Structure 1
Amino acid sequence: MRTVLVTGSNGLLGQKITERLLATQQFGLIATAKGANRFPVTEGYTYAEMDILDPENVKAVVEKYQPDSIVHTAAMTNVDTCEAQKDFAYQLNVAAVKTLVSLCEQHNIQLVHLSTDFIFDGAHGPYDELAAPNPLSYYGITKLEAEEVIKNSTCRWAILRTILVYGIVSDMSRTNIVLWAKGALEKKMPINVVNDQWRTPTLVEDLADCCLLAVEKDARGVYNASGKDMMSISELVGKVADYWVLDKSFINEVSSESLNQIARRPVKTGFILDKTIAELGYKPRSFEEGLVIVDRQLKEKG
C-alpha cells in the first residue's frame, strides 16, 4: 500500500484528509503537525510530531517513514498576519517548502502542495491554471514564490490552488467564514461584510478529495481546486443566514476600503475548474450542498 505523509494534519484540511483516508483505507497515512495530535481517532494510522520549520526534524521524519507522497497543507494563511510578520510568513510559506522539495527530490516522493487564489490581483477572475499571477499581499507573494520553487524542482509535483475553505473539525478549533457568520448571527451580533469581493468558496471535504485524487493519479502540474459557485462575500453570508434562518438585519454591507485591513485583497478571483474535473475526476459540490453537509456534521456533534 502506498503511504501518504500529511503536513499540518491538525488543521481543517489536514483533519479531513485523515478522516477520508481512515474511511477508505486507500493509502497508509503518516499524519504530522507541531504539537500533540488533535484528531479524535488515534488508531489506523501513524501520528508523528513534526516542526515544519526545523529542517533536521522534517528530514528525520520523512526518512524514517519514507512516504510515497507528501500532501503539504501546513502554511500561514492569515493574510494580515503575513503582512505584519513577514519573516515568519516567509519561513512557513517558502523556506519550509524548500525543505520538502529537497527531500522529495532525494527520495523520489510526489509532492502535492496547496496554493491560493491570492497569487492573483483579482482584476480578471475567474482564473484558469495558465493565468498570469500578480499578488497584492505578502501572503500572495510567499505562496507564489513557493509555487516557483516547486515548478523549478525535479520532483514529481502537483500544485492545487484553492479559495476560501470552509467546514468543521471535530474539536471546533478552527473557524472559517461560514462558522464565523453563523456564530455571530446566532448571537445577534452586527457584522461588517464586504460586498465588493467575489470568490468561489470551497467545501473542505471537496478539497480533501482533490488532494487524494492528485495522489491516486500521480498528478503533475497546476490544478484549480475550489468550489464551483461564484458569489460576493456579502452574498455568501446572506446564504448562511438564509440556510439557518437567521436575522439578516445584523449584516452590515461595507466596502473593502472601509475595513482598513493591513493587506490588500483581490476583488474578484474564482477558478475555472474544467482541467481538474476532466483530468482528476474532481466533483465539487454547490455551496448549498456544502451548507447541508456542515449542518449535518454540527448536528452529529450535538
Structure 2
Amino acid sequence: MSKKVLITGSNGLLGQKLLDKLRNNSLYEIIATAKGEDRYLESGYVYESLDVTNRSEVLNIMNQYRPDHVIHTAAMTNVDACESDKELCKLLNVDAVAYFIEACNTVGSHFIHLSTDFIFDGADGPYDEEALPNPLSYYGQTKLDSEELLKQSTVDYAILRTIIVYGVVKDMSRSNIVLWAKGALEAKKAINVVNDQFRNPTLAEDLAEACILAMEKRAQGVFNASGKDFMSILEIVERIADFWKLDKSLITPISAEGLNQPAKRPVKTGFILDKSTRELGYKPHSFEEGLAIVDKQLKAIPSN
C-alpha cells in the first residue's frame, strides 16, 4: 500500500526538492499544494491550489485526500517583511499550523513542520534541541508559537529546525545567499557582507532528505536539520567566491548594525546535529559539496 503525502509550499525551494525526491517513488502518492498555479510542472503527483491561511480550504483538502503524512513547508520567511506585516506573518506561520493540527486530528495524519534557528537569541549557539528559545524578531516568535501549538496538541508531529537554506529552483524564481553572492560577484558588483553573524548554511536537498527520513520513521519531537559547517556569513560568501574563483576584493565586511535591518537577527546560532544523525540517520553534505551540487544544477538549466 502506498502512503499518501501532502506537501504544502510545493512551488518553493524545499517543496520542489521534496517533489524531485518523492514524485516517482511508488511507495508514495504525492499531493502537492501551493497558492495559485503549479510552477513545478512535472508528472508523478497531483496538484491542488491551497491557501493555507484559509481554514475551510485546509480542512477540505485534508478531508478529501486524508494523507498519512503532511510536510508543511509553506511559511512567511522574509524576516523583515514579517516585522512590517505582522498580521500576514501570524496568519501564515501560526494560524495555518492551527488549521492543520485540527485537520490532522480528524484524519490521523503525521505532521512534519519546518522551524528555524531564529527562535533563539544567538547568545549561546550552536544549539541542541533542548536549548531554551528566546526569539528576537516577530518571525522567530511566530515560528516558536507554531512549535508550541504542536507540542500542546495530540497530533503526531516532527519539528525540523533549519538555517539559511540554499539551492536552485526550476524556474530560477527564488534567490538565496549562494545565488545572490555568486550573481553579484560574477557581475563584478561590490557587496557588503556581515562579519559578526554565524550560521550553518543548509543545502535544500539535505533538508528535503531530513523531511523524508522523519516521514519514513514517523519521527516524533524536535530535530535539528541544517548543514554541518558552522561559519560567519562573511565566510559563507568568501567560500562561495573561492568555489567559483570570483574576486573576493569586491566583498566588504560590515557589522550587522551597519545594515539597519528592521528585524533584529541573532548573532551566533548554528545547530548541533547529533540527535538527527543518531535518530534519523541524517547525513548532510559539506558546504563545498553543496556548492558542487548547485553548480551542476545551474549548468543543466537551458540558456535562453
Aligned to 2:211: 211
> Following the alignment from structure 1 to structure 2, what is the Cα–Cα distance between the partners of residues 95 and 66?
20
CA contact (8 A) 2:3 2:29 kept: yes
> Following the alignment from structure 1 to structure 2, what is the Cα–Cα distance between the partners of residues 25 and 139?
37
Specify the SS of the correspondent of 1:284. Answer: coil
CA contact (8 A) 1:201 1:229 kept: yes
Specify the SS of the correspondent of 1:19. Answer: helix
Aligned to 1:34: 35
> Following the alignment from structure 1 to structure 2, what is the Cα–Cα distance between the partners of residues 44 and 260?
45
Name which of structure 1's ranges 53-62 and 20-29 shifts more when overlaid on structure 2. 20-29
Aligned to 1:13: 14
Q: CA RMSD in A?
A: 0.7
Specify the SS of the correspondent of 1:290. Answer: helix
Matches of residues 154-169 of structure 1 in structure 2 within 5 Å?
154-169=154-169
Aligned to 2:274: 274
Specify the SS of the correspondent of 1:74. Answer: coil
Aligned to 1:253: 253
Aligned to 1:86: 86
> Following the alignment from structure 2 to structure 1, what is the Cα–Cα distance between the partners of residues 267 and 28?
39
Aligned to 1:64: 64
> Following the alignment from structure 1 to structure 2, what is the Cα–Cα distance between the partners of residues 286 and 169?
20
> Following the alignment from structure 1 to structure 2, what is the Cα–Cα distance between the partners of residues 25 and 13?
21
Specify the SS of the correspondent of 2:275. Answer: helix
> Following the alignment from structure 2 to structure 1, what is the Cα–Cα distance between the partners of residues 41 and 230?
34
CA contact (8 A) 2:6 2:69 kept: yes
**CA-to-aligned-CA distance 1:104-142 (integer Å, 9 cap, x gap):** 111111000000000000010000000000000000000
Aligned to 2:189: 189
Shift of 1:249: 1.1
Matches of residues 97-246 of structure 1 in structure 2 within 5 Å?
97-246=97-246
Q: Structure 1 counterpart of 2:31, which letter?
A: I
Identity of counterpart residues, as a percentage?
A: 60
Q: Structure 1 counterpart of 2:251, which letter?
A: I
**CA-to-aligned-CA distance 1:173-210 (integer Å, 9 cap, x gap):** 11100000000111111111000000001000000001
Shift of 1:22: 2.1
**CA-to-aligned-CA distance 1:51-85 (integer Å, 9 cap, x gap):** 11111111111111110010000000000000000
CA contact (8 A) 1:40 1:170 kept: no
**If the length of structure 2 is used for normalisation, what is the TM-score?**
0.98
Structure 2 unmatched ranges of 5 or more: none
Shift of 1:24: 3.6
Q: Structure 2 counterpart of 1:264, which letter?
A: K
Shift of 1:40: 3.1
Q: 1:253 to 1:81 in 2, by over 3 A?
A: same
Specify the SS of the correspondent of 1:115. Answer: strand
> Following the alignment from structure 1 to structure 2, what is the Cα–Cα distance between the partners of residues 187 and 24?
40
> Following the alignment from structure 1 to structure 2, what is the Cα–Cα distance between the partners of residues 193 and 185?
12
**If the length of structure 1 is used for normalisation, what is the TM-score?**
0.99
CA contact (8 A) 2:24 2:44 kept: no
Shift of 1:23: 4.4
Residue 44 in 1 paired to residue 47 in 2?
no
Q: Structure 2 counterpart of 1:232, which letter?
A: S
CA contact (8 A) 1:121 1:135 kept: yes
CA contact (8 A) 2:207 2:226 kept: yes
Q: Structure 1 counterpart of 2:23, which letter?
A: L
> Following the alignment from structure 1 to structure 2, what is the Cα–Cα distance between the partners of residues 194 and 210?
28
Specify the SS of the correspondent of 1:31. Answer: strand
CA contact (8 A) 2:62 2:107 kept: no
Specify the SS of the correspondent of 1:4. Answer: strand
**CA-to-aligned-CA distance 1:272-294 (integer Å, 9 cap, x gap):** 00000110111101000000000
Q: Structure 2 counterpart of 1:6, which letter?
A: I
Q: Structure 2 counterpart of 1:79, which letter?
A: V
Aligned to 2:4: 3
Specify the SS of the correspondent of 2:173. Answer: coil
